[in-house]
Structure 1
Amino acid sequence: MSKDNRLARLVKKIESYPTFLRKPLLNFALRKTVKLVGTAKVEVLQLTKTHSEFRLQNRKKVQNHIGTIHAAGMALIAETATGMVVGMNVPDDKVPVIKTLKVDFLKRANGDLVAKAHLTEAQIQDILTLEKGEVEVAVTVTDVEGKEPIECQMIWAWTPKRR
């Protein structure tokens, strides 16, 4: 495998801090970098090169007119989980961009949402070795009842950074 990129180095550095500081520090860094993630207070539960897990609490500021998490918030948590796991792997001379964000709303969500995304070793190899490309990132979003209120297709691309 290749050397760590900027995000992976940050996560590794944060992991050297005492356990009680790790999540607050990682949340602070991610929320400051991606403003909408900060506004919605999306919370990182796990972030590695192969897996990510994020939670969005059903708070007033992210609710729709029926008291559940707004459709945009549901899409945001899936996009965040997939984007961050891709972001852990994209070399520093490339930039990750969302190419397809397709969300099918299946049922009313109940309470908080958790999004889990993962990449295969083959997908990671492509990200590390191809000049540019795209990957469909597997993601599931579940509510407090363990049900999946949405089904998503998230395709991320990476391209060389503009000089």
Structure 2
Amino acid sequence: MSNRPNQLSRTVAQLQGIPLIGQWATSFALGRVVPFVGTAGLRYEVISTERVVVRIRNQRKVQNHIKGVHAAAMALLAETATGFCVGMNLPDDKLPLIKTMKIDYVRRSQGDMVAEARLRPEQIQQILSQDKGEVTVPVTITDESGEQPIQAEMIWAWVPKKRG
């Protein structure tokens, strides 16, 4: 088992090191790797092995019929934050897979939204040490009012990459 940074964490570190445009460059580059993330205009505010914060602006391309962030875009926000939290820790020879996505829409959202995913040290150790497994990644999604319009539970699994 190695605590050596994986390809994703090395790339993020390089992008975030670009003066003045590091955050923009990171969001742009990661949006190219996962095209749907780029299409929705997600912006990465914090990316570390313990915590990932992602924002979505309430703009026309992600709105629903009542001019709020669409339910599917809210799910994308939660999935992206939790997935990158796992991805920042996953050894390069493993493949992350979303296993369960449970979302309760509890109130109408207001304005932009932010998802914050966190992993505890023991969860990170589990990701680093197990050949395959799964982890529930805690995520909090808030809107401009500071309230939580949705509550989400994301379970991520990982398996060895197939060779060849």
Task: Give TM-score scaled by structure 1 length.
Answer: 0.97
Structure 2: gaps (5+ residues): none
Matches within 5 A, 1:119-138: 119-138=119-138
Q: Name the structure 2 match of 1:22.
A: 22
Q: How many residues align?
A: 162
CA drift of 1:12 comes to 1.5
Matches of 1:23 and 1:17, distance apart in 2:
8
**Partner SS state of residue 28, structure 1:** helix
- How far does residue 104 in structure 1 lie from its aligned partner after superposition? 0.3
Secondary structure at 1:32 match in 2: helix
Q: Deviations over 1:57-106 (max 9, x none)?
A: 00011000011000000000000000001000000000001000110000
In structure 1, what is the Cα distance between the partners aligned to 2:41 and 2:92? 26
Cα offset for 1:16?
2.7
SS at match of 2:104: strand
User: Which residue of the partner structure matches residue 151 of structure 1?
Assistant: 151
Does the Cα contact within 8 Å between 2:95 and 2:159 map onto a contact in 1? yes
Q: Give the fraction of aligned pairs with identical amino acids, expressed as a percent.
A: 49
Aligned-pair CA distance for 1:13 = 1.4
Q: Distance in 1 between matches of 2:100 and 2:69?
A: 22
Q: Does residue 18 of structure 2 align to residue 8 of structure 1?
A: no
SS at match of 2:146: coil
Aligned mates of 1:115, 1:28 — CA distance in 2: 18
Give SS of 1:126's match.
Answer: helix
Matched to 2:104, the amino acid is D
Counterpart for residue 59 of structure 2: 59
CA distance in 2, matches of 1:160, 1:89: 14
Q: Secondary structure at the match of 1:141?
A: strand
Distance 1:15 1:31 in 2: 15
RMSD (CA atoms): 0.8
d(CA) in 1 for partners of 2:16, 2:111? 30
Q: Aligned letter for 1:14?
A: L
CA distance in 2, matches of 1:15, 1:40: 21
- In 1: Cα distance, 2:131 partner to 2:66 partner: 45
Structure 2 residue identity aligned to 1:158: W
Letter in 2 for 1:76: L
**1:90 aligned partner:** 90
For 2:150 and 2:10, how far apart are their aligned partners in 1?
Answer: 32
Asked if the contact 2:55–2:114 (Cα under 8 Å) also holds between the matched residues in 1, the reply is yes
- Is the deviation greater in 140-149 or in 21-30? 21-30
* CA distance in 2 between partners of 1:17 and 1:66 (Å): 38
Corresponding residue SS for 1:31: helix
Q: Which runs of 5+ in 1 are unaligned?
A: none
| Equivalent position of 2:80 in the other structure | 80
